[in-house]
């Protein structure tokens, strides 16, 4: 990372962790900090899934419209609090290290698809993982190959490409070959009218300090360079339509 990018990244995500007397932030309080990292108690709506009210209403409209084309949008994952994300983190960390990976390699493997607790967009109640419930469900639901060519969710993907943005839902982790961070996820949509604002709020948090201080399994291996790269690539290298 060149010096210019490092300065820009560090300013956005909390060099205050290193120089608290120099830098401070005035947050606009769109959401309490606790809700941005999955530790609050947001008001959520849904039956079998949970979203913010505005995102929930928009999703129901999109689901109703998709049914007209024979597609039954099924939610696989929606709101996840910090504890839920931490269970995912610990399960994968234990598995990968027991399989023989070093702690550092296990962490790198986890963050190809799964977020570090406190940094997930699913903490906001704006994001969904979805499939088509009207087709035979493959054993491993969330594989990119299922959404292309002759995959079971190909029809869903084609419909979403044409219609989802009109309901406010945008793909987060695109298949742009130049994008870094999380792998391509054709199943992950975000409700832009809210998540755009929440990411702006999130960028004002001292994420750098949080990731250093949280006592997560394996977090003693979170070197400074890893945290900087994670913030730059996994949190911010997303669909540019979702960047404030």
Q: How large is the average pLDDT for residues 98-113?
A: 96
High-pLDDT (> 90) share of the chain, %: 82
Per-residue confidence at 7, pLDDT binned at 50, 70, 90? Answer: very low
- The predicted structure's pLDDT at residue 29: 57
Residue 177 CB: number of other CB atoms within 10 A? 6
Per-residue confidence at 4, pLDDT binned at 50, 70, 90? Answer: very low
Q: Based on C-alpha coordinates, what's the Rg of the chain?
A: 18
C-alpha to C-alpha distances, 152 to 80, 168, 173, 174, nearest whole angstrom: 26, 24, 20, 19
- The predicted structure's pLDDT at residue 215: 87
Question: How many whole angstroms separate alpha carbon 9 and alpha carbon 30?
Answer: 22
Let me know how long the chain is: 244
Backbone angles phi, psi at 204, to 5 degrees: -85, -10
Q: Going by C-beta distance under 8 Å and a sequence separation of 6 or more, which residues neighbour residue 87?
A: none
Q: How large is the average pLDDT for residues 11-27?
A: 40
Q: Going by C-beta distance under 8 Å and a sequence separation of 6 or more, which residues neighbour residue 51?
A: 44, 45, 59, 78, 79, 125, 126, 128, 191
Per-residue confidence at 13, pLDDT binned at 50, 70, 90? Answer: low
C-alpha to C-alpha distances, 125 to 47, 54, 78, 81, nearest whole angstrom: 14, 10, 7, 9
Domains of the chain: 3-19+46-242 (3.30.1380.10)
Burial annotation 22-51 (CB, 10 A radius, 16+ → b, else e): eeeeeeeeebebebbbbeeebeebbeebbb
* pLDDT tens digits for range 63-94: 999 999 999 999 999 999 999 999 999 999 99
Report the mean per-residue pLDDT for the chain.
89
Q: Which residue has the higher pLDDT, 225 or 16?
A: 225
* pLDDT tens digits for range 128-186: 999 999 999 999 999 999 999 999 999 999 999 999 999 999 999 999 999 999 999 99
C-alpha to C-alpha distances, 225 to 78, 81, 114, 204, nearest whole angstrom: 30, 27, 19, 20
């Amino acid at each position: 990372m060149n010096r210019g990018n490092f300065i820009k990244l560090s300013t956005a995500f909390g060099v205050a962790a290193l120089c608290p007397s120099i830098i401070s932030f005035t947050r606009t309080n769109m959401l309490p900090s606790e809700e941005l990292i999955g530790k609050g108690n947001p008001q959520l709506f849904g039956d079998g899934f949970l979203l913010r009210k505005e995102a929930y209403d928009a999703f129901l409209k999109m689901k109703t419209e998709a049914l007209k084309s024979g597609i039954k949008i099924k939610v696989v994952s929606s709101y996840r609090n910090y504890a839920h994300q931490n269970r995912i983190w610990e399960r994968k960390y234990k598995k990968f290290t027991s399989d023989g990976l070093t702690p550092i390699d296990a962490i790198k493997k986890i963050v190809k698809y799964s977020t570090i607790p406190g940094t997930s967009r699913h903490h906001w109640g704006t994001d969904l993982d979805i499939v088509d419930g009207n087709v035979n469900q493959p054993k491993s639901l969330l594989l990119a190959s299922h959404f292309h060519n002759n995959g079971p969710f190909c029809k869903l993907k084609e419909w979403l490409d044409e219609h989802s943005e009109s309901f406010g839902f945008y793909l987060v982790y695109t298949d742009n070959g130049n994008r870094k961070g999380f792998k391509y996820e054709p199943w992950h949509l975000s409700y832009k009218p809210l998540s755009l604002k929440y990411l702006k709020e999130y960028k004002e948090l001292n994420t750098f300090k949080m990731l250093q201080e949280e006592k997560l399994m394996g977090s003693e291996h979170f070197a400074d360079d890893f945290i900087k790269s994670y913030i730059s690539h996994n949190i911010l290298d997303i669909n540019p339509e979702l960047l404030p």
